[in-house]
Structure 1
Amino acid sequence: MDTLSLRLKKLRLDKGYTQKKLADQLGVKQTAIANYEKALRVPDIDMLVKIADMFQVSLDFLYGRENPESFEDYYRKDIDTETANKEELHKIYLEHLLKGDKLSARELVLQLQEEGMDISTIYLEVLEKALVETGTRWEKGTLEVWEEHFISETTLDLMREVKLKENKARIFKGSVLTLTPGAELHSIGVKMISDVLELKGYRVYYLGCNIPMNSLLKAIEDKKPKYLALSVTMAYHMDSAKYLIDGVKRALKNKRPIIIIGGAAFREGGNPCRETGADFYGGSLLDILTFVK
């Protein structure tokens, strides 16, 4: 990448603009900005003047004639983001958040969406993998509780933003109830499932945690869901999952929904379906999306 493409992208990121927003400001298509930043096209002189005026920099600055060395050192992390393969994306996302850089983390995710990556892939390849790594670091004691909370809350905010930009399927496939059993507060996994299934055409009812059994049975009776999806992150909430699943089975028998369970609590192995009584265990978001048709 040449100096002009690097500096344009850095200026855009500092301003907090997506490629689409910058394109709107300059009166061009988003693809034009993408091509400028990838050095596939060079702006003409009129466009260069517009860019310089917008960011209040000189043409010399855009072409690297002012302070080029320090600028490129500062910008090197964004070059890595641009050239990363799919397997590296979650590491870059997590690294931004570990540095407290919410803006760069957000920009990475929105950029991937603008370039055509769908929400399922963003969740699977970036957010889910980053959260698994976060959990691993927390368990090893290399991550503070506040850091884990910061990463989780930032990810939840981004999920809401990404979901709003996606188109929802028009075909109604049925209803799904999603929740965490007992007092399990870790909800990102089940919210990812909820988001993707909703966009694929399911009517999803996310119920949160601490749902009394009689209220859950009432919800199943009213909404008649095809699936009931639970997520357990902390192993000490396993008994709550067993109790909930057993209660649904006893009360509804063959009229009950198909029960899906997942979450980090089962990462050590074993047989989650046998241990909890669920019908299907999803070790990842992809497993569940493959199962739920």
Structure 2
Amino acid sequence: MNSIPDIIQSDFRAALLSGNKAHCSKTIQSLIDQNFTLEEIYEHLLKRTLYQVGELWEQNQISVATEHLASSIVENLLNELYLQLQPQQCNGKKAILASIPGELHQIGVKMVNDVLEAKGWETYFLGSNVPSNDLIRFAKGVKPDLFALSMSLYFNLPELMKLVDELRLHFPDTKVLIGGQGFTRGGTEITRRYSNFTYCSNLYELNNYLT
């Protein structure tokens, strides 16, 4: 595991907050050329920077507009990285990925989607704020081997619990992966209650889970 130097991450954050997408993209390409892995770029650059941006917003040091700009640029960068993926042979497994109802953030679960695709999974990325009824209806047609759900804000925990009840009713044996920044404040006890639920705090834990 290679750690991206702080000076590079700091420079990337400054470019992101100023809206300099070209510089951000150049930084990503430089890391790829240096043989940093997808997980390393996601974890040590993109995820780390977005967490810092979120903290700046919570502290009223940046505006909502700037936070949205940063998120938009990162989503574009994810799309650029996606084009460079070299997926493994299809393993026959299917996963549905989504942010829970009421959750407007989707970047983290998009990263999980890309990692799964790179490992040969057939993925269905539904994005943010997916109503429970629609997710269940869609899943009945797909019959997934895995659900991956994201919660970025802790106050959305009640919505997660409602969705958990629905999943346990309709898909009692299907594995469910949960993650997101919201769990830094609690909620992971759900994995102790239900054996088919697993919490992953980062992409390295995801890799261990998949092997």
Same fold (TM over 0.5): yes
SS of 1:253's partner is coil
1:184-223 per-residue CA deviation (whole Å, 9 max, x = no partner) reads 1100000010011111111110112343434323333322
2:43 matches 1:124 = yes
Is the contact made by 1:187 and 1:231 (CA closer than 8 Å) also made in structure 2?
yes
SS of 1:208's partner is coil
CA apart distance, 1:258: 0.7
SS of 1:167's partner is coil
Aligned equivalent of 1:161: 80
Structure 2 residue runs of 5 or longer lacking an equivalent are none
Aligned equivalent of 2:162: 243
Aligned equivalent of 1:282: 200
Q: Which has the larger radius of gyration?
A: 1
Aligned equivalent of 2:178: 261
TM-score by length of 1: 0.65
CA apart distance, 1:155: 0.4
SS of 2:159's partner is helix
Is the contact made by 1:181 and 1:210 (CA closer than 8 Å) also made in structure 2?
yes
SS of 1:248's partner is helix
Is the contact made by 1:272 and 1:281 (CA closer than 8 Å) also made in structure 2?
no
- CA-based RMSD of the aligned residues comes to 2.1
Structure 1 residue runs of 5 or longer lacking an equivalent are 1-84
Which 4+ runs in 1 deviate beyond 3 A?
A: 209-215, 269-272, 274-278
Aligned counterpart for 2:96 among listed residues 177, 180, 183: 177
Counterpart-to-counterpart distance in 1, 2:61 and 2:162: 34
CA apart distance, 1:284: 1.9
Q: Which structure is richer in relative contact order (CA contacts within 8 A, separation 6 or more)? A: 2
CA apart distance, 1:103: 1.5
Give the paired residue count: 207
Counterpart-to-counterpart distance in 2, 1:180 and 1:149: 17
Which protein has the bigger helix share? 1
CA apart distance, 1:183: 2.2
SS of 1:259's partner is strand
Aligned counterpart for 2:66 among listed residues 147, 155, 159: 147
CA apart distance, 1:173: 4.7
SS of 2:97's partner is strand
Is the contact made by 1:119 and 1:163 (CA closer than 8 Å) also made in structure 2?
no
TM-score by length of 2: 0.88
